[in-house]
Copies of this chain bind each other. A is one copy, B any other.
Amino acid sequence: MATALDTAQRARSAALALQAAPTELKNRALRRIHDTIRANKAEILAANRADLEVEAGTLSASLYKRLDLAGPRDSKFEALLQGILDVVELEDPVGKVTLASQLDNGLDLLRVQCPVGVILIIFEARPEVVVQISSLVLKSGNAVVLKGGKEAAASNQALWASIQQALASLSRDGDDVDGNDGGDASGASASKAAIPPDAVQLVSSRDAVTDLLKLDGLIDLVIPRGSASLVKHVRETTRIPVLSHADGICSVYVDRDADARMAADVAVDSKTNYPAACNAAETLLVHADAAASHLPVVGGALLARGVQLRCDAAALAVLREAHPADAAAGRIVPATQADFDTEFLELVMAVAVVCDVDAAIAHINAHGSKHTDAIVTASEACAKRFMANVDAAAVYWNASTRFTDGFRYGFGAEVGVSTNKTHVRGPVGLEGLMIYRYRIYGNGHTVAPYNSGERTYHRAAIPLEQAQVRV
């Protein structure tokens, strides 16, 4: 079995070889992966059934459902295949010029997007992550080391084997292909017109991950996707940059100037559309002036959907009076302080009355997890204030917190959701897998004459389209 060091070094070599691969080659690889997985459908679903049989009874219903790769009438499997073709359609992010400026006559500065390098993905349950992430990683010119959970070991292995089979077959027909790519502007030599299979590696043991997390010289980015405890463990045990979110403690704030019906709709969707999601709301805040008028409506709508409300004293008084039957049935209860710092992930919501929008902002900045927070209000000034001062990846005005999602945002694909304060934040598409290089195009330019004052910089912006053709 390969050591972690060997795995990472092969990934690094693959990343260096793949970083300048032509778009058409990468798309051809993705289509080949699609075709191979489709052709291997029977074996892949058999492997998945084997995983499901091993885990039957030990996993919760929702985890079991996530582990299932086929879905109703194979709809999940078909969606997985379509996902690969969707990535083919995405614009190639490599080589995109994002800044261009003339520094002096004949001396041009360009900022050009390039892959981050080697990405380590640690995930649980969902085996389709193998395919989704591999597609995004190849399209963006990166290499990836995948570590899945043991509950999906056979499924992950079967999907990965298909990817390897596809890349190997692409490599074998490389000679045909190279003839067509001979005029490629990157100057890639014909012998390299293949995707190194080491660009997608799969490891299965926990020890391998422990060792990989130490290789900060070889691995550029870690993305843990799974439970909060997985994410926290990874963050605490590596010096490699981690792209992640741990908790999702999202809030809905109902302002004095909110429409009560709209507030109820937004709160119900945010809480109940998919309570186990990280973008589900856990906390409801209501302006004191709207407590009597709005809280019974919003609370009533939540109670009608089976949500237990854990309330501060002010909210408790209003809701008990408005909904005595629910109170008697234990669906309206006093909140503990810890309830405002808890990601319930079920039909439970903490409720508090706040004196104004600034108090709502302060509450969220103290208790939230910097993921997604929404305000419901008709006041543009309050909405602007909320969106400018709540320190979260996503801040919404009159919309459900559930919109925080790469597909809903129209990013085409999602690597994960980040609550980081650097690199990328919120739903992360291909952009999170990119960094850039600065290029200078000179004519033998040296800094000495500029330092001495003999020459001075003559700066001017270069239109990006004009700069793009030079890359």
Contact = CB atoms under 8 A, between A and B. Distances in A.
A235 interface: yes
A399 B438 contact: no
Interface string A1-24: 000000000000000100110000
Interface string A72-100: 00000000000000000000000100000
The complex is assembled from copies of this chain, and their number is 2
Given A382-B187, A437-B394, A262 B220 contact: no
A440 B395 CA distance: 7
Contacts of A337: none
A175 to B, nearest CB: 20
- The range of chain A's interface size is 35 or more
Interface in A382-440: 382-385, 387-389, 391-400, 402-404, 408-410, 420-423, 425-427, 435-440
B384 A187 contact: yes
Contacts of A410: 101, 103, 109, 457, 459
Nearest to A185: B384
B409 A103 contact: yes
B439 A408 contact: no
A194 to B, nearest CB: 16
Interface string A168-190: 00000000000000000111110
A35 interface: no
Contacts of A376: 444
27 contacts: A19-B388, A19-B389, A19-B391, A103-B403, A109-B409, A116-B421, A186-B385, A186-B388, A187-B382, A241-B241, A243-B422, A262-B444, A265-B444, A269-B447, A269-B448, A398-B442, A398-B444, A399-B441, A399-B444, A400-B442, A400-B446, A403-B447, A409-B438, A422-B423, A422-B435, A425-B438, A427-B438
Interface of A: 16, 19-20, 95, 101, 103, 107, 109, 112, 114, 116-117, 185-189, 220-221, 235-236, 239, 241, 243, 259, 261-262, 265-266, 268-269, 273, 358, 365, 376, 381-385, 387-389, 391-400, 402-404, 408-410, 420-423, 425-427, 435-448, 450-451, 457, 459, 471
Q: What are the 9 closest A-B residue pairs judged by CB atoms, nearest first?
A: A399-B442, A269-B446, A262-B444, A20-B388, A220-B421, A402-B447, A396-B440, A187-B381, A187-B385
